[in-house]
Structure 1
Amino acid sequence: MIQFQHKEFFWAYLLLLFFVLLYQIYKGWRKRAIRQFGDVTLVNGQLIKHRSESRPAFKFLLLLFALFFLISGIIDPKVGSKVETVKRKGIDLYIALDVSNSMLAEDIKPNRLSRAKMAISNLIDKLDGDRIGLIVFAGRAYKLLPLTTDYSAAKLFLSSVDTKIVPVQGTAIGSAINLAARSFEKDKHNKAIIVITDGENHQDNPVLAAKKAAAEGIKVFTIGMGLPEGAPIPIYDAQGNRTFLKDKSGKVVITKLNEQMLQEIAAAGNGTYARANNASVGLSKILKNLNRIQKQELATKQFTDYEHHFQLFLALALFFLVLELLVVERQSKWAEKIDFFGK
């Protein structure tokens, strides 16, 4: 397991590309300057014949290596060196998030999907000892993150979610519930699923899936994203111009919250239903119900000790800097016959 002490300096690697570009510009300028001075063959052969053509490039490459390792040392990668079994009390929780195009509707600001992601992020901040996993679904369901107590990783995966992450459009709520139920470990830990969707199911029987989950001791909660009156689905082009999704007859598609469906799913899954609006997403209500579930002791293995390795990278940076200083651009007369770099 690798962690980085100063992730904010990753942008500094772009300096390598900047200096490569600057070096290429310098080489082009130098060639043009030599042409203006006189015949290229004469200048290179007589006036600057002791200057190696390859050594400046080699020295520049050494400086790039030095800069690369210097930046790596500043970032300071840490490697986990000690694994321990950590015991904590909590439940196992899968969040199934709808990423179909209808979640782009803006009846809940800024849109249904963005608001849901913000709410999930807030929920993660309130977890203590619980394991959380992420499932995304549209026409199909995919496990994005298995159960983990690494809440930072959960937030990282959540930030990457958009409507393009699932290639098949649709809303297969039942498939998402079934996948979550199968993804739990076969143990005695209390388990729950939170389905966040607008409820426009088109493909399967989510109520039956919730009943099956409940029969296995898994509670299913639902959160309805959207308003009953609905809203059109915006489509943005490359220039940021907005139009709305239309059906085959050219009519603007209005996506509405299917509240009855989500209430039936929650009832079948022995959970509760909450509806989001512009003031609240409803996760606080769900969280209260989750806290009522008896938390059992969970044993997870995780790295508890990390070793810093910035010293190694800084030493390599210093090595390449010293090596660059030892390499001279001008060839000595005795080395003209034995030139390892070439002219």
Structure 2
Amino acid sequence: MDFRFQHIEYLIGLAAIPLVIALFWWVLRWKKKTTQKIGDEKLVQQLTSSYSPKNFLFKFLFLAVALAAIIAGAANLQKPGAMEQVQRKGVDIVIAMDVSKSMLADDIKPNRLERARQMVYKLMDQLPDDRIALVLFAGRAYMQMPLTTDHSAARMFVQQAGPDVVPAQGTVLTEALRMSNTAFNSKERKFKSIILISDGEDHDPGAVPLAQQLAQDGVMINAVGVGSPEGSPILDPVTNDYKKDQAGNTVISKLNEPELQQLAAATKGVYIRLADTEAAVDAMKKQLGTIEQTSLDDSAFKNFKHYFPWFLGGALLLLVLEFFYPERKRTIL
């Protein structure tokens, strides 16, 4: 099969190469202007007779190519190994996780977001045969990972989940549910569940009607409420201070259980408040067990051949060459 990059998003770093080239061009212009300011041209040539523009160019090329190799190495070029056909029975599950700033409230320790992560980790361990997708949402929803049996990749995405992943703040449940539904096979009318993990803080009037529509498509919404009805202030990690409203009052974020309960009820799902992680995982696993399982033919690669060491090794060699390569002309005795 074709080569592929494991972390293709890192390749955006290659956009820095043109900036490095522009910087090099600016340095050349600066050197030229500086020499012109010195004065007598012949005197300048005598003073800089040992300087080699060609060597300076080579040193720059070493650095630029090394930078490109480091970025490519981080993206990890890989080639799939032998393919193994695996037949498994399972359910398609989309985990829609709220990553709004209200999830940083610490009414459950250490905070709502971290407890949600802990539940997802334990739940994935209990669902080895199910395909899992991940949607992160706040003021907008983003598909972080499509349906896959690669739970190790899912854990990585969950670990990185946080308010900084979704710039627009808020809790838009409608968009989260709509985005989650796009991960499913629209031709199937069963074997599908959305696990909605949120504090449900902002009331979203379009969420329940959408849930009723999803139920007709065979989607079961199982909601997990994170937080407490009493609520808690939200600590902003940037300012290290509690969030305040326009009047200067400390904002108290409260768990909105009624809306989450309505969403679950509309699709014959279950609502669970995340108090004890183990109990919540057991209850969710039991609920998912009520959904019929379907046989899934999954093409899983046994291993991958990774090429990042070649890129990083080449980058190291180029950096060593750049360090020892002289900028002055070689003198022959």
Corresponding residue for 1:89? 89
- Residue of structure 2 equivalent to 1:275: 273
Between 161-170 and 316-325, the greater mean CA deviation after superposition: 316-325
The structural deviation recorded for 1:257 is: 1.7
Q: Supply the AA of the counterpart residue of 1:125.
A: D
Counterpart pick for 2:252 among 251, 254, 264: 254
1:160 pairs with 2:160: yes
Cα separation, 1, equivalents of 2:326 and 2:166? 55
Question: Are the counterparts in 2 of residues 68 and 317 from structure 1 also a CA contact under 8 Å?
Answer: no
Kindly report which structure 2 residues correspond to 1:66-215, keeping only aligned pairs within 5 A, or say none.
77-80=77-80, 85-185=85-185, 186-187=187-188, 190-215=191-216
Cα contact 2:203–2:259 (8 A) shared by 1: no
Deviation at 1:145, TM superposition (A): 2.0
SS of aligned partner of 1:146: strand
Maintained 8 Å contact 2:190/2:218: no
**SS of residue paired to 2:163:** coil
Worse-matched range after superposition: 145-154 or 202-211: 202-211
Partner deviation per Cα, 1:215-264 (whole Å, 9 max, x = no partner): 22221111111112111223344xx4313322x44433322222233222
Q: Distance in 2 between matches of 1:233 and 1:321?
A: 49
1:266 alignment partner, SS class: helix
Q: 1:175 to 1:281 in 2, by over 3 A?
A: farther
Task: Report which of the two structures shows the higher radius of gyration computed on alpha carbons.
Answer: 1
Q: How far apart, CA to CA, are the structure 1 residues paired with 2:55 and 2:257?
A: 70
What is the rounded CA distance, in whole Å, between the counterparts of 1:291 and 1:139 in structure 2?
32
User: Structure 2 CA distance, aligned partners of 1:43 and 1:168?
Assistant: 57
Which residue of 272, 282, 285 maps to 2:283? 285
CA distance 1:228–1:319, shift in 2 (3 Å): closer
C-alpha separation between the residues in 2 aligned to 1:190 and 1:210? 16
- Secondary structure of the structure 1 residue equivalent to 2:222: strand
Q: Using the alignment, how far apart are the partners of 1:285 and 1:54 within structure 2?
A: 71
**Counterpart position of 1:245:** 244
Relative to structure 1, is the Cα distance of residues 65 and 282 closer, same or farther in structure 2, using a 3 angstrom cutoff?
A: same
Q: AA paired with 1:275?
A: R
Residue type matched to 1:231 in 2?
S
Identity percentage over the alignment? 36
Gaps of 5+ in 2: 8-41
Matches within 5 A, 1:211-226: 211-226=212-227
TM-score (norm 1): 0.68
Structure 1 residues 137, 329: CA separation in 2 closer, same or farther (over 3 Å shift)? same
Give unmatched runs, 5+ long, in structure 1.
5-40, 334-343
Contact 1:63 1:321 in 2 (8 A): no
Which residue is 1:17 aligned to? none
Q: Secondary structure at the match of 1:183?
A: coil
Contact 2:132 2:148 in 1 (8 A): yes
Q: Aligned to 1:282, what secondary structure does the other structure show?
A: helix
Aligned partners of 1:173 and 1:204 also within 8 Å: no
Q: Distance in 1 between matches of 2:218 and 2:104?
A: 33
Q: Cα distance 1:250–1:130, how it changes in 2: closer, same or farther (>3 A)?
A: same
How far has the Cα of 1:195 moved from its partner? 0.7
Tell me if the contact between 1:275 and 1:281 (Cα under 8 Å) persists in the aligned partners. no
Partner amino acid, structure 1, of 2:244: L
Listed one character per residue, the Cα deviations across residues 147-182 of structure 1 (whole Å, up to 9, x for unaligned) are: 122223222322332224334433222332233224
- Indicate conservation of the 8 Å contact 2:81/2:305, yes or no: yes
In structure 2, what is the Cα distance between the partners aligned to 1:282 and 1:311? 42
Q: Which one of 276, 279, 297 corresponds to residue 295 of structure 2?
A: 297
Q: Deviations over 1:128-148 (max 9, x none)?
A: 121111122233333222212
Shift of residue 200 of structure 1?
2.6
CA distance in 1, matches of 2:275, 2:44: 76
Closer, same or farther in 2 for the Cα pair 1:256/1:308, shift >3 Å? closer
| Counterpart-to-counterpart distance in 2, 1:103 and 1:322 | 49
Q: How many residues align?
A: 300
Amino acid at match of 2:150: D
